[in-house]
Structure 1
């Protein structure tokens, strides 16, 4: 019988070895022995693993096929096909990826009744542990996508609890109506308006451009404001994407224009989903052809369409999003009344 070298190793050494495993191999390692099971499910190990995790790209196709790909740096952005870290059929078919926090994804599913599109269901999912929570949308909250002006997901800095926030404009009123869902409570609650406001970036355009789309996102710890415009001048029509970054949150004067990207007729509204260390951007089209990916070279000032990991096939429209893989189990979050489903 071969000696068991792991048996006499200190827990911190075993932990350091297991932290180097691919993320999909760690759940399998839990089956080795009870000692490893307890170590791999400990808060310290999960936190250490998350701190070392590299960003990943999650892709959900029309068929409900979910794939997760590694995406570490611009040097590893190979435009050929990649093998995914993991892939499987999402149990509720395709959902629109809305946001990601601490490795948890929020997907939403809408229905069309012939008159309007309404938000039908929300899902909180960990694609690594393959767990999901369904959140019904109360009928009395009237969370119609035609009225929703903002939608977000985050974790409280004070309690650490996860919260879903939906903000909408009241009919015939300039006031905002805010609904909050704290995971574990099982219900939405309405809040009085409690927001602070700041100005959008200064805009000094020439030629009275037509603004086609606007978008706000958070990347690399800053607020990003993207605006696509069309100008008509002597030399014809010009489309461009202007990206501003708020260097200091909440300070109007800290807006800085970082990118001005010319767009051709084949490129519709795109938003940045990842910024690389050299200033390059991975961008996602969100309006006319959702799921198409583009790569912007900050050095060459050029943008190209890419078929990254096979995500741009015309036969399968996709939803793409960036997240950091985590091993945290939804069941371990103490969600109380929530029904965590494993798949």
Structure 2
């Protein structure tokens, strides 16, 4: 019996040794497999991620902690912004939305789980007692969308976000929207990241008697508000995003702007306004660094379908010279104010073409016709081409479609103390 027991113990010990050996071999095999995977430096991973479309970047943040750290870094956000193409952001009416108000019904603003509602977020941030009920009941709801022009097609894409207020300004992927839950208040948000915050209350004016411009100045964003005061002069106030109140500055020292028309354009270190929609001979300029106003004469009288716009670090004036010609003038610096005609488009011109913007990465200029058709002029091939779009996707007669130049990015207006030396614009 003792001999049998000893033999059984030996067999058990042998089995344990074989199991331990197998475990060690399996661990060595797994280690060899891991070691065979090539190591990718952080810069290489960042270089791959930066090429992903903005929608994929949003999802890629949650793959792992290293990726999250890369995508959230100020350097990556800056590089992503520099690669972001220009788009046109706009509001599209959500048909059939007309709802009442109930003190207990915060669900008034909530959408389905995949849709972000600006008013729902504001509702969560503020007390119900501060809301303006009559304003809410009379409001319409809009889907926030954007138009992309590429490969001969004009494509409409959706942020899956809604709001009740008007888009007032845009810069670097940030937009400023009316807060329809409190009269005169504004909201700053990034429709891609859905980051949102309330801005302090400023001067309350009728919408057609005011204009907003959002710009990046050094490490901070500034919101400039022009408005007509009781004496019919133009007043001005400036808000540095993050501060608790607006600063009043001297506006243009003369009566101008019969009414505010187009959004201001930021170029060569200044914001530029076209004071009147038709028969205008000058623009009004505010230099961002010193916040001073002056006027700049245009090279020729601006008409209803002419526009100023930023292009390749210059301020451009796109004007209809003749029935079949569109000229492009450029201003490279504010000192001297010398406009230079740089190009005349003489093929494919239509009287009602409205300039939209210059492509960021190609030498092309895009236009919108009064019937909603989109055209692009290819300077390299000297060709005006019509983009394929969904029928009726844009109709200028529809007040809901106010196009604002935009860039989809991961930018935030918030800059942490530790990030200031590596800010978005250092």
TM-score range, shorter chain: 0.5 to 0.7
Q: Deviation per CA, 1:218-262, whole angstroms, max 9, x where unpaired?
A: 232211234568x9xxxxxx5976543213334322343644675
Which has the larger strand fraction? Answer: 1
| Aligned partner (choices 350, 357, 365) of residue 273 of structure 1 | 357
**Is the contact made by 1:247 and 1:256 (CA closer than 8 Å) also made in structure 2?**
no
Q: 2:309 aligns with which of 199, 217, 221?
A: 217
Q: Which runs of structure 2 are paired with 1:249-288 in the superposition (5 Å)?
A: 249-256=334-341, 258-259=343-344, 262-264=349-351, 267=352, 270-275=354-359, 279-284=363-368
Cα drift, residue 155 of structure 1: 1.3
| Distance in 1 between residues matched to 2:343 and 2:180, nearest whole Å | 35
Aligned to 1:116: none
Which residue of structure 2 aligns with residue 318 of structure 1? Answer: 401
1:32-71 alignment, distance < 5 Å: 32-63=63-94, 64-68=142-146, 71=149
Q: CA deviation at 1:163?
A: 0.8
Equivalent position to 1:154, from 206, 211, 215: 215
Deviation at 1:153, TM superposition (A): 0.9
8 Å CA contact 1:62, 1:93 repeated in 2: no
5+ residue gaps, structure 2, are 1-29, 95-141, 252-290, 418-426
Shift of 1:136: 5.9
Match of 1:181 among 232, 236, 239: 239
| Partner residue of 1:101 out of 171, 174, 177 | 171
Aligned to 2:297: 200
Q: Quick one: distance in 1 between partners of 2:228 and 2:194?
A: 35
Cα-to-partner distance string for 1:280-301 (whole Å, 9 max, x where unaligned): 311246xx77x76333354787
Query: CA–CA distance in 2 between the matches of 1:213 and 1:69?
Result: 20
Q: Indicate if the aligned counterparts of 1:306 and 1:312 stay in contact, CA closer than 8 A.
A: no
Asked if the contact 1:165–1:179 (Cα under 8 Å) also holds between the matched residues in 2, the reply is: yes
Q: CA deviation at 1:327?
A: 1.9
Provide the TM-score with structure 1 as the length reference. 0.67
Structure in which a larger fraction of residues adopt helix: 2
- Size of the aligned set, in residue pairs, is 295
Output one character per residue of 1:141-163: Cα deviation in whole Å (capped at 9) or x when no partner: 24333333x53110112xx1111
- Greater relative CO (CA pairs within 8 A, separation 6+): 1
Displacement of 1:199 after TM fit?
Answer: 2.7
**Cα distance in 2, alignment partners of residues 295 and 228 from structure 1:** 16
What are the equivalent positions in structure 2 for 1:116-195 lying under 5 Å apart?
120-135=184-199, 137-138=201-202, 141-148=203-210, 150-157=211-218, 160-172=219-231, 176-193=234-251, 194-195=291-292
**Superimposed CA distance per residue, residues 159-194 of structure 1 (whole angstroms, 9 cap, x where no aligned partner):** x11111022344546x54211111111322211245
Task: Measure the CA separation in 2 of the matches of 1:250 and 1:171.
Answer: 33
CA distance in 2, matches of 1:109, 1:191: 24
Deviations along 1:179-220, one digit per CA (max 9) or x if unpaired, are: 1111111322211245242432233x8xxxx94465433232
Contact (CA 8 Å) 2:327, 2:345: kept in 1 or not?
yes
CA distance in 2, matches of 1:195, 1:167: 13
Q: Of the two, which has the highest radius of gyration? A: 2
Q: Give RMSD over aligned pairs.
A: 4.1
Q: 2:332 aligns with which of 218, 238, 247?
A: 247
Distance of 2:178 and 2:325 partners within structure 1 = 30
- Structure 1 runs not aligned, ≥5 long: 112-118, 232-237, 335-343
- Residues 217 and 224 of structure 1 are in contact (CA less than 8 Å); yes or no, is this contact kept in structure 2? yes
Match of 1:92 in 2: 163
Partner of 1:9: 40
Give matches, 1:67-78, under 5 Å.
67-68=145-146, 71=149, 76-78=150-152
Deviation at 1:62, TM superposition (A): 2.0
Distance 1:47 1:252, change over 3 A: closer
Give the distance between the partners of 1:7 and 1:279, measured in 2 at CA. Answer: 40
